[in-house]
Structures are given as C-alpha cells and as structure tokens.
Structure 1
Amino acid sequence: MKFSLSWLKQHLETEASLDQVTAALNTIGLEVEGVEDRGAALAPFRIAHVVEAAQHPNADRLRACKVDVGDGVIRSVVCGAPNARTGMKAVLGLPGAYVPGTGITLKVGEIRGVKSEGMMCSSRELGLGDDHEGIIDLPADAPVGVPYATWAGLDDPVVEISITPNRGDALSVRGIARDLAAAGLGTLKPFAPEKVPGVYPSPLRWVVEDSVACPWVLGRAVRGVTNGPSPKWLQDRLVSIGLRPINALVDITNFFTFDLGRPLHVFDVAKVKGDSLFLRPGRAGESFLALNGRPVAVTPEDLVIADAEAVESLAGIMGGEHSGSDGNTREVFIECALFDPVRIALSGRRHELRSDARQRFERGIDPALLPDALEAATAMVIALCGGEASEIAVAGAEPSWRREASLRFERIMGLGGAEIDAGTAVATLERLGFGVVARDAERVTVSVPSWRNDIAGGGTLTQAPALPAEKARAAAEGCAATEPECDLLEEVLRIHGLDRIPPMSLPVASPVPKPALTPRQARAVLARRTLAARGMLDCVSFGFIDGRLAAKFGDTPAALRLENPIAADLDQMRPTPVASLAQAAARNAARGYPDVALCELGAAYRGITPEGQLTVAAGLRTGGTPRHWDAPARAVDAMDAKGDALAVLAALGVPAAALSVTADAPGYYHPGRSGVVRQGPKVVLAQFGELHPKLREELGLPGPAVAFEVFLDAIPEPKRRKKGAPDLPAFQPLRRDFAFLVDSTVPAEALLRAARGAERSLITEVALFDRYAGEKLPEGKVSLALEVTLQPREATLTDAEIEAVGAKIVAAVGKATGATLR
C-alpha cells in the first residue's frame, strides 16, 4: 500500500515529520517497506533566471550564461544545452549539490577559459525522466530562488507499507490515518459527505440473482458530464503511488479505491443494453474483454455484472472495455457494491486477474461505507466533470455486521506482557473506533466498528451475529487466536507500541533439549545418507504410478485407485518405490545412460489405513559397476543389492548375527537370484534380488537390474543403554579356519548360524571366506570355508581347549546342516 505524506494529511491533522510518521507506522504493526522522497534529493536545486546567454568565446557548442537565483549574486554558468537562452527560467544546481542522474557532485570549475559556478539541469540529470535534449524550460511565472522540488510538487514523500491479510481497513489512506491518530500522532479529520440530491430517476436498475455473493449494491447516474483529463492534483495523487491517469471518471474511481478503501466502477449508460444491470453467475460460453485488454471466459462459479445482452464486468475484480467511459461519455452510472470475499478470491485466482479492487474485496471492506462513499464519488464527478445526479438505485440491504467483544484487563499483562492500565486500554479502543457498551473494574465490552472485519469473527457478509460477552468469559485461562478477546488485546498492544513490549524468554521445560528428530525420522535420515555414501542418487517421485505397471509389483486393490488422477498413467498408489525407480532407470536407459544407481526413501501402499502405508528405503542398480583402478567393471548382481540392504540395516543398528536370509522374495524378483532378510521367522526387514527378466524386458531395461527394499517401520528401535567402559579384553584373539563339505542346496547362512552357537562365550565372529565347487568334490557337494574368531577373557587358551572348541563347532555344524569337515 502506497500513499504520499500530503495525501495522508488530508485525513490526519498532524504536524508530525516524515520520520515520525514512519517510526509510528512500524511500532503499530504497519511495517514500512520503503520511502521515496524525491524532494530530499532535489533540495539543492533552485529556480534560476538566465539574465544573459552569450556564445562561449572558445567553444562553438557552449553558451556562457549569467544566472540569477534570487540572492542578489549573478553567477557565471557554462551550459551546453541548445535551448539555453536569455530570459528563460531554468533549474540550477550550485556547487556542493549532488546530481542524482549523473552521480557527480558539483564544484566551481573553469570550462574552456570561462568560470562555471553551477549547472543548469535537464530532466534526466535530475532523475525525473529520459529527456536530455535540453535543460528544463520553466514557465515565465516560475518564482526565482524557490526550490524546484517545492514548486513542482516533488517534495511530497511517498511511503510504502506492507499489509497483513487481516488488515483490509489499512488498504486505505483513511484507515492508516485512523491508526496513526489512535497512536497519538494527530487527529483524524471527520468524514461526512453531504448528500447530493437526485433530480431524475435512475436510467438503470439492479437485478441481483445471487444475494449471497452480493448482499447489497448501490448505484446512481450522473448525466451531462464532460469527461477529459483529470486535474493536476488528482493526477499527482495517482502518479505518486504508481498509477497511470486515464480520464477524470476512471481516475475518480481509482482515487476512492485508495483514499477510502472503497472500490468503485463506472459504466457508460449509453453503452449498456436495456434498463437493468444483472448481478448473476456467469454462464457457459460467455466472455468479455477486460480493461487490461485480455479476454476473460467466465464460469458459473463467477459473479458477473451483465446487461440485457452480454457480460460487462467480472464483479469486484475488473470491468470490461465495452461499457467503459471515454471522451464521448455523457452519462455515467456509478456502481458501489458489497461482494463476498471468498467468491472474489476464488474468481481472481481462477482467472489469474489481480487488481486493486480484488485486493480489497477479498480482505473484506467496510459494509456500512457504501452510502457515504457513493455520495462522495457523486460529488467529485459533478465537481470535475459537471452534470447532475439521478436518484440512487438500490438492491439488497445492509448486512448485519454489528457485534460485540470483551477484554479482561488482567489479560493485558498476563498474556500481552505489557503494563497498560485499564483507562489507557479503553481510550485506545475508543480512538480506533470501538464504542464502549459496558465497563466494570475487571473488563470492558465494546461494539466493533464496521471497518474492522478481522475483529470478533466479522469476516462474513450475510448474518454476522452479535457475540455476547459470555463467550469471552468462557475463556477462563487463555484465548485462542480467533477469540474476540485476543483481537482486542492485539489492538491495545500494537497501538501501545510493539517495540515497547518487553522481550521475555519462554520457560525452559528441561535443561536438556529434546531431540529435534524422532527416532523414526532419525532412522530415515541415516538410511538416506548411508545409500548416498554407497554412490546412489536420491530420487523424489510420485506416490502413484500406472495401474498396469503397479499390478506387476504387487496387489492393486480398488481402494488404492485414484478417482481423479492428474494423468491417465498415474492412477494407482504404488505398492513399492522400486516401481518408480525402475521407471526412472528405464527413462535414463532410453536416453543413453544404462548404468545408474538410484535410491528413494518413500512410501509403499498396501492399504488405505495408516498401517497400510509403509516407509521404505529402496534402491535399484542397472547395467554395470563403475570402473575403478582396483577392480574391473562387471555387471551388477543380486549380491550388490544384498550388500546395499545389509549396509542400511547395519547403519540402523541391526546386528548381522540376528539376521537370516530366505529365498521367498516377491514375484517381481528373479526366483533364483533373490532373497528376504528376516529377523526371526516372521519379521521381514528387507528383500532384494535381480528384477524378473520378463519385467525387465517390459520396462525396457537393456541390461541387468537389481533392487532392494528395507522396511524401516519393521526395524525395532534400539534399546537405550547407558554407555559403560569399553570392552577391551586383555588377551589376544585367535582365528581358526574350517572347511566343510555340504550339499549345494544348503545355504551358507545355516553354517554360519550353527558355528556361532557352538560356544557363545568364546566365539565372537564367524565369516564365510571361500566357496568351492568342481573337481575332486562329489557331485552335488560344495566346500564352504569359515573363519572363526575366538576371544578368550579369563586366560590364554590351551591347545586342548582350542581343540575342544573346534570339535564343538564341527559337531554343531554337522548336526544343523549335515556338513562334514574336509
């Protein structure tokens, strides 16, 4: 919201300086975003009279001028402008002045042998435009010696403030003046426009077909107008805030939009078909050309203003070119309406139309201002354009906006933290326009003014019931952000000064702060970092995929099918993130990148309940492993996927000794090159393997593809234990190797598990380091070599004790798997 200082003083009786005004705005919550004060930059430049302009004796394109600035001293100024002449009035900068358009500071100098004691400036040199053909040529009656900025009206600073969405009343100069007056910066001038008598019946009437979208509308015509450029004062007002003057009738509506926060619109009566203007929903196929030159196709969800033949305006947002006023307009109809804020916001968003009217209507305007605003606008139209007014055409009625709210005085300190006595608080509310209904030692009940739609739930236009004081009393211990008491408290505090509220620290619940992440969130972050450290690229994909593809990765119940998908091939919630990663890998392969390593931490959907949404750390590798100096490139296999899954589990604190692998992976994995990682017989922590060859072919993956899924929700949270002294045995560990002959169908995991359990007090680690099948072995047999680590704790092991442990290992493995020692 922009306004000039002189415009503000049309509503505020004050002697405050610009700095005082901006400081007060910041303290009452109307944050100043910027101040444009051209007058300050142009203060050193004065109106001068060129007494003599002679040809420079040493330069053909220069003039040697004698200049008077009204102080009785004739100065020598060298000027290169072609329009410099004797007797003209110009703008002169004296030595020491900073020229904003060039960035130089003037000083006394000598140009081609002639002394120069200043500079006569062009518009570009003063930063006022692009004209640099000559120096500024002022009228003959321009007063010599007067600061140019003052004479030209450029010493009127423009202030820009930011407005929060709840403060629609502050989108007007009068609303800002009211707040400053309440803060003690002056006195708000009264606003009571005289009624303009209607001398003839209105040529147009209102027909409202949607009273919810438009509960009240006024209008009146003015005939015999002469439309042309608006006067200079009005143009200056609009130009100062960045608006382009158009013509007097349009400029008047723009003026009141900012002056009172009351958007208006004018129709050329001669261009309106029929004798009625209809406020109705749009119809399919209707459109109109908006004032911004853009065609707008309206919908049944929009409220439009139409005549007997076509749409003339998108109500509350933008008018149409067809019925707009121009130089030929002789009779104009002024619209002054009240619209539903929600309908305006949705229509503006739907059509991507932004206007000053929409900005105010969607925040809520003063529902009681319509008659006075129409009278003021009518009076200005007649004053600037002539003519006579018609009777007022009315449809609907003023909505019920009156309501009350209460404030307990003890809450000012208890909740607001400010020492403000009851009398000051009540006086503050009265200066803001609240009327005292009842008051006692503990509380005050006030009536809310019509322009404060944000107080006590006044956002609705239809029936805003009065809020009894009992509602405030019900909040015994505090008040929510929407309670009327909090609204009043906020008003008292901000007018008191937000900078005067002492800062207070929140009470510390615990000397040790709580963790920023829950254990579940921390596991997710750690899993993602682990996969990234293994060279995988993190992906973020949709949780829904093509239903036909989803069926290849698991069940696709109808409950997980989207009723309104954003695309035809995104109609099913995915059963696993592997499906999304496979699609991404296929797209990369189609573009010449067959070797990728992708991962995603996302959801797998098995049902519509929260329990049916699983958090999964998934990954997929395709093609070959990267080339490296210490290992040749090779095709990826199921063991790569298993390694990724086990790395995630290890990072999350799952002990490898507690895991087992079974060969019952889902059908989208290769049946002989996949597995399921379990903790115990029932808990599935992960699954991995090569993708099924048929599935890989359908996806268009040219080479091998392996994937894994780690189900983070299934991983038990580690028990929190106090850290003790590190376990540092005093004796050296020793290692023994065992080679077993076993059926090729027996998994190596079974041997590892049996060996670990043979002597738990001594065996700390068992690892498979060799697998051999081939010559000198019976058919169907393989040799598996295990390395067993023994860690003595009480004393060094004797040979007999070592042999006894070895015998236990051989016996345990043989009993569990049928293996024999080679």
Structure 2
Amino acid sequence: MKFTLSWLKEHLETDASLDTILETLTKIGLEVEGVENPAEKLAPFVVGHVLTAERHPQADKLQVLSVDTGEGAPVQVVCGAPNARAGLKGVFGPPGAYVPGSDITLKVAAIRGVESKGMMCSVRELELGDAHEGIIELPEDAPTGENYASWAGLDDPVIDVSITPNRQDCMGVRGIARDLAAAGLGRLKALAEAYAPAGAQQGDMKVSDLGQRIELKPITGEGPGPNVRTEDEAGCPAFFGRIVSGVVNGEAPEWMTRRLKAIGQKPISALVDITNFVMFDLGRPLHVYDIAKLQGGLAARKAKPGEQVLALNGKTYTLDETMTVIADEAQVHDIGGIMGGEHSGVSETTTEVLIECAYFDPDHIARTGQKLTLTSDARQRFERGVDPAFLEDGLTVATLLVQALCGGTPSEVTRAGNPPTAPRTIAYDTNRAEALGGLAIAPERQKAILESLGFAVSADWQVTVPSWRRDVEGQADLVEEVIRIEGIDHVPSTPLPCVPGVAKPTATPAQMLERKARRTAAARGLNEAVTWSFIAESEAEPFGGSAWILDNPISEDMKAMRPSLLPGLLAAARRNMARGQDSVRLFEVGRRYLAEGERPTLGIVLAGNRLGRDWRSGKAQGFDAYDAKGETAAILAAIGAPVDNLQVLGDASGIYHPGRSGRFCLGPKNALAEFGELHPSVLKAFDLSGPVVAGEIYLDALPQKRAAGRMKSAYAPPALQAVKRDFAFLVPADMQAEALLRAVKGADKQAIAGVSLFDVFTGQGVPEGQKSLAVEVALQPGEKSFTDEELKAISERIVAAAAKLGARLRD
C-alpha cells in the first residue's frame, strides 16, 4: 500500500516529522517497506528564465538560448524544443545533473559547434508525465533560480507500507491515518473536513494545495435510479448504483493524477481515475460503466458455464458457475469485484455513466481470483473484506467527484440487496490485556484506545466492533489492538523460570539425524539450499508426477507437492549457472511428498565443473557419477549407516542415466540412497546442460540404533599387524565387481578384515567374454600370527567362495 505524505495529511492533522511517522507505522504493525522522495532526484534542477533565443548558426531546428539560472551571469544552452523562446520560464538542468527520463548525466558539450552548458527539460525527461513535444513552461511568477521540486510541490515522500491480510481497514489512506491518530500522532479529520475544498491551482505545473477536491454534501437525484439487481446474494449481497448524465470525460486534475502516478498508477481519464482515487483513498473499490454500451439493466449473478469476458487487461477469461459476474441482458461486463470488461468501459466519448458500488463476499472473490489466476487492486481489497457500511457514502463521494471534475446530473440511488452490517459485540475483560499481552494498562486507557480506533465501548465493557474491522472476532483481537497501539516495545522482557539441574535434550532422534546430515554435507563443501515444497506439475512429471495436487494453489507454478527434492535443487542450480557460477554444489534437507505420506530426505545436486583443474590435462573437469557416489557414501557413513554392509546396485530410478547410477541398499529391497548422473530428458526439462549428477538419501530408511543394553563393546585396536594377500580372478564380463567382493569377504568373516578392488583388466591373456578382477584381501590375526597352513586354508576358502559365482583364479 503506497501513499504520499501530503495525501496522508489530508486525513490526519499532524505536526509529526516523516521519521516519527515511519517509526510509528512500524510500531503499530504497519511495517514500512520503503520511502522514496521524488524531489531527491530533481534536486539539481532549478527554475530558469530564457532571456534570449537565437537561431543556431549550423542547424535550423536548434536555438541558442541565454538562460538566467539565478546564479549571476546567464548560461548558454542549445535547445531543440519548438516552444523555446525569449521570456519563457522553464526547468533548467546544470552540468552534472542526472536526467532520469533520458538516463544521462549532463555535461558541457559542443552541439554543432556551439557550446551548451546545461539543458532545458521536458515533462518526460523529468519523469513527470509522457509529454515531450516541448520543454516545460512555468508561470511568469515562478521565482528564477529556486529549486524546481520545492516550488512545484514535488517534495512529497512516497511511503510504501506492508499490510497484513487481517488489516483490510488499512488498504486505504484514511484507515492508516486512523491508526496513526490512535497512536497519538495527531487528529483524524472528519470525512467532510478531509474533502473540504481549499486553495486553488496556480499554473500548469504547480498546485498550491493538493487537497482541493470537493465539498461533501447530500445529493438530490433527478430521475429514477438505474436498473440494477443482485441475483447472487451469496457472492454479491448488495449492489448500489447511480446514473450521472451529461458528463465530459477529459483528463483528471493534476492533484489527482500526481498522487496516482506517485503510487505507480497510470492516469487514464477523469472517470477511471476517480474510481482509482477513491479506492486508494478510502479503501472502497468502484466501477463505472458507459450506459450507451449496455443493453438493459445490470445484474449481479452467477456466470454460466463457458461464458467469456474480455477484461480491461486485454485478456479473455472463461468463467464457470461458481463465479459472480455483472452482466446485462446480452453479455458479461465485469468479473465481480476483480476486474471490469472492455466492452462497457468508459472513453472520451462517454456522456452517461452508471457508477457501481457493490459489496462482494470475500471468500467468493478469493476463489474466483485463484481459479482465473487474476489479481487486481480491487481483488486485494474485496477478498480481505471492504467496509460493508460504506456503500452509500462511497457512492456519494464518487458521484460528487464525477460532478466536480466531469459535470453531469446524478439520478437517485438504486439499492439492490442488503450488505452484512449487523453489529458484532464482544464482552471484554480488561485484565486480558495483561494476561495475554503481558502489559498492564489502565481500563480508561484501553477504552480510549479502542474508541480512537472506531470501537464503541459501553459502561459494562460490551465492545461493538466497527463495520470496517472484519478481522476482530474475540477478546484476543481486542487485546491485540490495545497492545499494538500502547506499544509492544513497552511489554517487559520476563525470562522464563530456569529449572535446576542439567537440561534434558529436546530434539528427537529424527531431528538429531537430520542435524548431523546437514552439518556433514556443509562440512564437505556443499551449499545448503531451501526450496519450495510446492512446484509446478511440469517439474514433478519427470519424477513420476506428484501424488498431492493443491486445489487452490497460489499459482500454477506452485500447484504440486514435490515427489523429490531434486526439482527445487535443479531449478536453483539453473539460476546459479545462468548468473555465471562455474561450479554448483547444493544440498537440501527436507520432505518428499509421496502417496503414502511425507518422507525425510537429503538431496544433492552437483553441476558445472569441479573446483580446480585436472592435474593431467590442465582443464576443468565436470562432475561424474562417482562424485555423487562419494558424497552420498560419506554422508551415509557420518550419520551412522552401516556402509561396509551396503550393496551397490545398478538399477536406479528412471531419472538417472542407465549405467551411470546406482543405489545403496541393505538387501535388494531396502534402498537407503540413490545417486548418479541425471538422465538427459530430466536435464532438458529443467533447461540444464550436462552432465549434472545428483543423489538422494532416504533418512527414514536408515536402520534404528540399537537399544543401550545391546550396544557393541568399545573398540580395541588389534595387537598384531594385518596380513595382505592379492588374488586375480577371471570372471564373466557382465559380473559386477561388488558381487565378487561380497563373496570374498564372506569366505571367512572372522579372519578377513577388508576386501578392495585394485585392478580391472581385459586384453591379451584374458579370454573373450571375461575380465580379470584383482582384489586385495586384508587378513587380521587374533591372539597369534597366522601359520602357513592357516593362510593356505583361508586362501582356499576365498577361491571356493569366488568359484560359486563362476570366478576362477587367473593363471
């Protein structure tokens, strides 16, 4: 929610400084996201008086001006504006000034051989509008040499406030002013006082009093009101309307367009700008229809399945029977409470308008907006809940503004339906402020705070909630109002009681496991990422699709719950590589969402090049499947997985490249992790160039630790040195080395301490269809050294175990 300081002061009578206002806004729960003062970028520009204007000797369309800038001697400026002439007063930019609209910094330069020491500026060049046909023309009484921004009233900071979803009352400037007045920063003006006319315009580029608007007064309509009705009381409980005939739709006055432009709104025409102004000023969305484009009366009704509407954003939307629309006898003209249609929009030829002021149900608005993925300023307000008691006054304000700016004669008001204005009363106990909020506040002070916010408090503490506070439902909400205005910074810091003795651990074994996995991955040089659990369905598809699809997603890109951690990590890797990162090493600890439930998981993605160059070629090398295997195995070992007993099987899931991936398993069915190079189709889906390797560790698949009574005895190093023996076996070419290593290790579990592969050979001396696998076997003696006979017997058992797989000793 953006507004200017002068705009705020139309509703709040205050002498508080800008810094005080900003500090107070944040204190009372309206967090200030930013402040920007347009005058700061225009600080170098001053009012300049053109003394003479002569034709440029080398160019027919250029003039050489002599400009008085208030600094003594006149300055020579070369100018190509057709309206440049002697006697004109405009805006001068000296050398060194940055021109925001042109993105240039002025300097002394020779233009066609004539020196120019500055620039006379246009509206567009100063980003004050779109006009650029000539330079700015100021009134004759504009003081030469004075700072232009200050003289023109542009020294008006724009404040950007973050409004939480429960504060629908602060989606208008008046609501924010009410909160600041309650916080003691001034007096909230009555609505009629805020809109009272004062001052007058002086010239085209300055307004002496930006508050000049209208005088609020009752309207006596001429003729019957429009034919409007509501056929959907659930979606649109109330529909008020009034016709204004004989209007002239030109440009809105500068005080209005300047405020709208300051908050990022593009002025369109007086009639449209009036509705936007009332929406931001009072939090009341409105809409105007060109009656000449309507056929019959307007009705708020449910859309018919398949009906379409061309909205004001130029897009066509297909509607369904759950959506509330405003339609005449021929077609739909408005997606109720969200966006109007192109067909009935006002234009410069409009002479008769129907002003709509309706109340739309917040839940219906939210569901329609989500289905259509359509957002608007009106939707933001209606789905939070606008003031249902402000229909009559909102329509009056809009009508008076139309009359004041466009002329015309208003009709009577047609009131269809009834807004939900039944009062809500809460029995309040003033002691709850201390019990819930931790701050003891006198009852009289609490009453004053509530009344300043618009609540009515009776003698027996029955508190009536104002119509604009839909979020207040119980005593806790009243406590919140009292505490935030009194100042949450006044709540004393009270330490919790300290229980004597040593604190017991509170983390669960699962949390400790995740913590260990996270620390190990970070210690190995991986960077932790935190990605969304919600992803697009297209991102979930390469991973088998998502079992959990949201009915009301924030957007289509966040519709599916992730079946794997890799989609988010791959998207993060793509963003990093697009920004010039040569080596991406990411991990994340989170949840996968499968049909059977949530599964804690650690995901790894390695993309780009390894850090450093290969010592043999001197070139950077990409990651391969062994990098993913090594990282996965290291983390598994650190978190207590029985790595020595794990099998490496090659049948990883389809997201990995066949032959370049595998699984760590305890038995063929209990997979603890997957790793490998990702399949090219997966990389294509995420717009990545390979190779990219990845891995996932299934933290819930790890075997549980043994109970304390069954723990292994403490490790004692062996007294005798190990004996090593090498064996070379001829095996079928398709045999996995892992199978041979397991068979050899199982030949004598007591004597064999370890088995490792150190050579694979195919070629001369090895029969076709076979390969030679050389393994090193570490034999660990116990209380005495092995005898030759014992070593021979162990060797025979090793050869016999290998023979069961079809392996034989190589000659």
Helix, strand or coil: the match of 2:72? strand
What displacement does 1:421 show? 3.6
- Give, in whole Å, the separation in 1 of the partners of 2:486 and 2:645: 66
Q: CA 1:327–1:93 in 2, change beyond 3 Å: closer, same or farther?
A: closer
Q: CA 1:263–1:767 in 2, change beyond 3 Å: closer, same or farther?
A: closer
1:732 matched to which residue of 2?
720
2:93 counterpart of 1:79 = no
2:206 counterpart of 1:177 = no
What displacement does 1:422 show? 3.5
2:487 counterpart of 1:497 = yes
2:290 counterpart of 1:291 = no
1:377 matched to which residue of 2?
398
2:221 matched to which residue of 1?
198
**2:258 pairs with one of 203, 211, 236:** 236
- Give, in whole Å, the separation in 1 of the partners of 2:663 and 2:400: 85
Q: CA 1:446–1:809 in 2, change beyond 3 Å: closer, same or farther?
A: same
2:280 counterpart of 1:258 = yes
2:477 matched to which residue of 1?
487
> Is the CA contact 2:745–2:754 (under 8 Å) kept in the aligned structure 1?
no
State how 1:583-732 maps to structure 2 within 5 Å.
609=596, 653=640, 713=700, 715-719=702-706, 727-729=716-718, 731-732=719-720
State how 1:255-334 maps to structure 2 within 5 Å.
255-274=277-296, 276-334=297-355
Q: CA 1:54–1:357 in 2, change beyond 3 Å: closer, same or farther?
A: closer
Q: Which moved more, 1:218-227 or 1:803-812?
A: 803-812
2:358 matched to which residue of 1?
337
2:30 matched to which residue of 1?
30
> Is the CA contact 1:282–1:304 (under 8 Å) kept in the aligned structure 2?
yes
- Kindly provide the amino acid, as one letter, of the partner of residue 160 in structure 2: E
Q: CA 1:683–1:520 in 2, change beyond 3 Å: closer, same or farther?
A: farther
- Kindly provide the amino acid, as one letter, of the partner of residue 322 in structure 1: H
State how 1:132-143 maps to structure 2 within 5 Å.
136-142=136-142
> Is the CA contact 1:676–1:684 (under 8 Å) kept in the aligned structure 2?
no
2:384 counterpart of 1:395 = no
> Is the CA contact 1:218–1:394 (under 8 Å) kept in the aligned structure 2?
yes
- Give, in whole Å, the separation in 2 of the partners of 1:814 and 1:324: 90
Q: CA 1:7–1:130 in 2, change beyond 3 Å: closer, same or farther?
A: closer
Q: Which moved more, 1:3-12 or 1:498-507?
A: 498-507
Show CA shifts across 1:185-224 (max 9, x none): 111111265331233212x322322211011111121223
- Give, in whole Å, the separation in 2 of the partners of 1:345 and 1:430: 31
Larger Rg: 1
- Give, in whole Å, the separation in 2 of the partners of 1:7 and 1:785: 83
- Give, in whole Å, the separation in 2 of the partners of 1:643 and 1:144: 75
1:214 matched to which residue of 2?
236
- Give, in whole Å, the separation in 2 of the partners of 1:247 and 1:732: 95
- Give, in whole Å, the separation in 2 of the partners of 1:325 and 1:542: 43
Q: Which moved more, 1:344-353 or 1:302-311?
A: 344-353
Q: CA 1:805–1:14 in 2, change beyond 3 Å: closer, same or farther?
A: same
1:386 matched to which residue of 2?
407
- Kindly provide the amino acid, as one letter, of the partner of residue 378 in structure 1: T
Q: Which moved more, 1:171-180 or 1:493-502?
A: 493-502
- Give, in whole Å, the separation in 1 of the partners of 2:562 and 2:441: 59
Show CA shifts across 1:361-400 (max 9, x none): 1111001111111122222223333333222212211215
State how 1:752-771 maps to structure 2 within 5 Å.
753=746, 755-756=748-749
Q: CA 1:318–1:654 in 2, change beyond 3 Å: closer, same or farther?
A: closer
1:447 matched to which residue of 2?
464
Helix, strand or coil: the match of 2:159? strand
- Kindly provide the amino acid, as one letter, of the partner of residue 299 in structure 2: F
Helix, strand or coil: the match of 1:425? helix
- Give, in whole Å, the separation in 1 of the partners of 2:271 and 2:178: 27
> Is the CA contact 1:123–1:129 (under 8 Å) kept in the aligned structure 2?
no
- Kindly provide the amino acid, as one letter, of the partner of residue 28 in structure 2: I
- Give, in whole Å, the separation in 2 of the partners of 1:395 and 1:176: 30
- Give, in whole Å, the separation in 1 of the partners of 2:18 and 2:589: 56
What displacement does 1:489 show? 2.6
> Is the CA contact 1:530–1:647 (under 8 Å) kept in the aligned structure 2?
no
Structure 2 gap segments, 5+ residues each? 193-215, 527-534, 552-560, 566-586, 606-613, 617-625, 654-661, 675-694, 733-738, 766-772, 805-811
- Kindly provide the amino acid, as one letter, of the partner of residue 455 in structure 1: V
What displacement does 1:752 show? 5.2
Q: CA 1:514–1:304 in 2, change beyond 3 Å: closer, same or farther?
A: same
Helix, strand or coil: the match of 1:16? coil
Q: Which moved more, 1:9-18 or 1:333-342?
A: 9-18
- Give, in whole Å, the separation in 2 of the partners of 1:803 and 1:261: 95
1:789 matched to which residue of 2?
779
Q: CA 1:507–1:351 in 2, change beyond 3 Å: closer, same or farther?
A: farther
Q: CA 1:365–1:768 in 2, change beyond 3 Å: closer, same or farther?
A: closer
- Give, in whole Å, the separation in 1 of the partners of 2:66 and 2:673: 93
What displacement does 1:412 show? 3.6
Show CA shifts across 1:313-351 (max 9, x none): 111112223222233333321111011122222323333
- Give, in whole Å, the separation in 2 of the partners of 1:563 and 1:346: 13
- Give, in whole Å, the separation in 1 of the partners of 2:44 and 2:801: 102
- Give, in whole Å, the separation in 1 of the partners of 2:602 and 2:15: 68
Q: CA 1:711–1:154 in 2, change beyond 3 Å: closer, same or farther?
A: closer
- Kindly provide the amino acid, as one letter, of the partner of residue 361 in structure 1: F
What displacement does 1:310 show? 1.1
What displacement does 1:487 show? 2.1
Q: CA 1:61–1:512 in 2, change beyond 3 Å: closer, same or farther?
A: same
Structure 1 gap segments, 5+ residues each? 457-483, 534-539, 551-559, 565-572, 578-598, 620-626, 630-638, 667-674, 689-707, 776-782
The two structures, once aligned, show a CA RMSD in angstroms of 6.2
- Kindly provide the amino acid, as one letter, of the partner of residue 735 in structure 1: V
> Is the CA contact 2:48–2:67 (under 8 Å) kept in the aligned structure 1?
no
- Kindly provide the amino acid, as one letter, of the partner of residue 352 in structure 2: E
Helix, strand or coil: the match of 2:239? strand
Q: CA 1:142–1:544 in 2, change beyond 3 Å: closer, same or farther?
A: closer
Show CA shifts across 1:475-504 (max 9, x none): xxxxxxxxx333223222322335555667
What displacement does 1:225 show? 2.9
TM-score by length of 1: 0.64
Q: What is the percent sequence identity of the aligned residues?
A: 43
2:186 matched to which residue of 1?
186
What displacement does 1:272 show? 1.6
Q: CA 1:642–1:320 in 2, change beyond 3 Å: closer, same or farther?
A: closer
- Give, in whole Å, the separation in 1 of the partners of 2:161 and 2:239: 30
Q: CA 1:99–1:728 in 2, change beyond 3 Å: closer, same or farther?
A: closer
1:669 matched to which residue of 2?
none
- Give, in whole Å, the separation in 2 of the partners of 1:270 and 1:244: 25
Show CA shifts across 1:71-124 (max 9, x none): xxx9321222456655433446899x96666987999xxx9xx999x9774247
2:89 matched to which residue of 1?
89
Q: CA 1:678–1:753 in 2, change beyond 3 Å: closer, same or farther?
A: farther
TM-score by length of 2: 0.65
- Give, in whole Å, the separation in 2 of the partners of 1:64 and 1:643: 76
Q: CA 1:738–1:252 in 2, change beyond 3 Å: closer, same or farther?
A: closer
- Give, in whole Å, the separation in 2 of the partners of 1:137 and 1:645: 71
2:161 matched to which residue of 1?
161
- Give, in whole Å, the separation in 2 of the partners of 1:78 and 1:488: 64
Q: CA 1:752–1:430 in 2, change beyond 3 Å: closer, same or farther?
A: same
- Kindly provide the amino acid, as one letter, of the partner of residue 76 in structure 2: C
- Give, in whole Å, the separation in 2 of the partners of 1:191 and 1:487: 26
> Is the CA contact 1:755–1:766 (under 8 Å) kept in the aligned structure 2?
no
Q: CA 1:495–1:732 in 2, change beyond 3 Å: closer, same or farther?
A: same
> Is the CA contact 1:528–1:601 (under 8 Å) kept in the aligned structure 2?
no
Show CA shifts across 1:558-616 (max 9, x none): xx99999xxxxxxxx99999xxxxxxxxxxxxxxxxxxxxx9999999x96559x8989
> Is the CA contact 2:298–2:328 (under 8 Å) kept in the aligned structure 1?
yes
- Give, in whole Å, the separation in 2 of the partners of 1:678 and 1:86: 89
Pairs aligned (count): 672
- Give, in whole Å, the separation in 2 of the partners of 1:294 and 1:617: 40
